[in-house]
Every structure is written in C-alpha cells, then in structure tokens.
C-alpha cells in the first residue's frame, strides 16, 4: 500500500465522552488517518486520563498515532506518541526533556515563518500553520496564505501541518502547496453523512 504524500491528522471535538470511542473507531475505519489529537479543555488530570485511555486503545488498534494537545504530563502518563504545543504552552525544550527523543512534538506557528524556523531548528517534529479557512472549531486570529506551505517544504525537511476549516472540497490547494498533513475536526465530526464517510472522501482526495 502506497502512503499518500499528504495524510489526515484528525482532531477530537471537545466532548469525547459517552459513545465517542465508538465514533472514533468508525472514523478510523474510513482509512487515511495517520494521527489523532486528543483535545479537551478545562477538566482535571484524572478526568482527562480516563477519557484518553479508551481513545488511545482505539488508535493503537488502528495503528494511528495518538497525540495529546497541550498537556505534557498527560502525554507522559498515557504513553502518547506525541504532544502538540501552542506558542503559550510549555517550551519545546521542557517537553523534550520530559518526554524523551521518541515522542513527536508539534508546535503551532500560526502564519509566522520566524516561529516555524525557530521550532524546526529547536527540534520540533512538525510545525502547524493556520487557519487557512474560516472555522468554528476555535477562535482564529491568524490566516496564512498557502504559499507559506510551499516555502516551508522548500527550505525545511520537518513536516508541516495545515489546519483551519479544511474540508474534502477545499483541501486540494493545501495538498498541492506541500502540506504533509491536513488537520481536520468539524469537517469530520459534523459531517451530515457521518465521520466514516467524511474520512473516506478526504482519502479519495489525498490518494488522487
């Protein structure tokens, strides 16, 4: 099986309780997903761990990397494959010291070439740019143009992730510009035909 040059990076909704592990399994059955990010807000450490455990099992079963958003301690506790940090979170050096060399660390770089270069040279395993399109998933201030992806893929070997309002219908230019991963949330979990079908449609574009 040939791995497409751009892969899907699936981000959780904020509510991952109830039947969400089954919903995640259904989505991953659609293929194309390389990584899943566990993203919850404003809950305690024990509650986050309890929610994360069954989701990591689902990801492990489907051979999908399990990434924790913003929480180095949770990533370490659960044995996550990676952690994603924003510009206001713990530093890259602190995360690397806590998690070791085998854990993937991604850094949000918004629309900044300077921040991306700092992250890449500092040892980040990937950098994330966005939001490329309007999105209701989170408040967005930064709106890079697709040429930042072209520039990055030319000057650096560190993978880049494109995020923000990406759908099966609008992701073509993002892929063509050189994104290694497209990060999606609402386009999958809010799809009227279901998450599996949404992932399948992304996969058709990625493998075109």
Question: Using 50, 70 and 90 to split pLDDT, how confident is the model at 31?
Answer: confident
Residue 71 lies in a domain: yes
* Digit-coded pLDDT (tens) for 41-100: 999 999 999 999 999 999 999 999 999 999 999 999 999 999 999 998 778 999 999 999
Look at residue 3 in the predicted model and tell me its pLDDT. Answer: 66
Look at residue 208 in the predicted model and tell me its pLDDT. Answer: 85
Residue 1 lies in a domain: no
| Confidence check: pLDDT of 109 > 90 | yes
| CATH code assigned at 144 | 3.20.20.70
Per the structure, the count of domains in the chain is: 1
Residue 142 lies in a domain: yes
Residue 32 lies in a domain: yes
Residue 151 lies in a domain: yes
Mean pLDDT of 107-124: 96
Look at residue 2 in the predicted model and tell me its pLDDT. Answer: 57
| Confidence check: pLDDT of 4 > 80 | no
Look at residue 136 in the predicted model and tell me its pLDDT. Answer: 79
Task: Tally Cβ neighbours within 10 Å of residue 39.
Answer: 19
Q: Maximum Cα–Cα distance for the chain, whole Å?
A: 44
Task: Tally Cβ neighbours within 10 Å of residue 113.
Answer: 15
Is the separation of the CB atoms in 181 and 34 below 8 Å?
yes
Q: Which residues contact 45 (CB under 8 A, 6 or more apart)?
A: 73, 74
| Confidence check: pLDDT of 205 > 60 | yes
* Digit-coded pLDDT (tens) for 138-195: 777 889 999 999 999 999 999 999 999 999 999 999 999 999 999 999 999 999 999 9
Residue 155 lies in a domain: yes
Mean pLDDT of 124-140: 89
Residue 67 lies in a domain: yes
Provide the residue count of the chain. Answer: 208
Which structural domain range is residue 172 located in?
7-206
Residue 86 lies in a domain: yes
State the Cα–Cα distance between residues 156 and 146, nearest whole angstrom. Answer: 16
């Amino acid at each position: 099986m040939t791995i497409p040059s751009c892969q899907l990076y699936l981000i959780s909704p904020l509510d991952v309780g109830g039947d969400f592990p089954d919903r995640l399994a259904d989505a991953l059955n659609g293929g194309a997903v390389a990584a899943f990010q566990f993203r919850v807000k404003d809950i305690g450490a024990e509650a986050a761990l309890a929610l994360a455990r069954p989701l990591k099992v689902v990801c492990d079963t489907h051979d999908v990397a399990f990434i924790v958003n913003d929480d180095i301690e949770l990533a370490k506790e659960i044995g996550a494959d990676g952690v994603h940090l924003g510009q206001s979170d713990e530093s890259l050096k602190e995360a690397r010291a806590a998690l070791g060399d085998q854990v993937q660390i991604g850094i949000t770089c918004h629309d900044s070439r300077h921040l991306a270069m700092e992250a890449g040279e500092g040892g980040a395993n990937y950098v994330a740019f966005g939001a490329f399109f309007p999105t209701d998933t989170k408040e967005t201030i930064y709106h890079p143009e697709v040429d930042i992806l072209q520039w990055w893929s030319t000057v650096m070997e560190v993978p880049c992730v494109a995020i923000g309002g990406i759908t099966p219908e609008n992701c073509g230019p993002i892929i063509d510009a050189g994104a290694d991963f497209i990060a999606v949330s609402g386009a999958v979990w809010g799809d009227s035909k279901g998450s599996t079908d949404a992932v399948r449609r992304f996969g058709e574009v990625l493998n075109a």
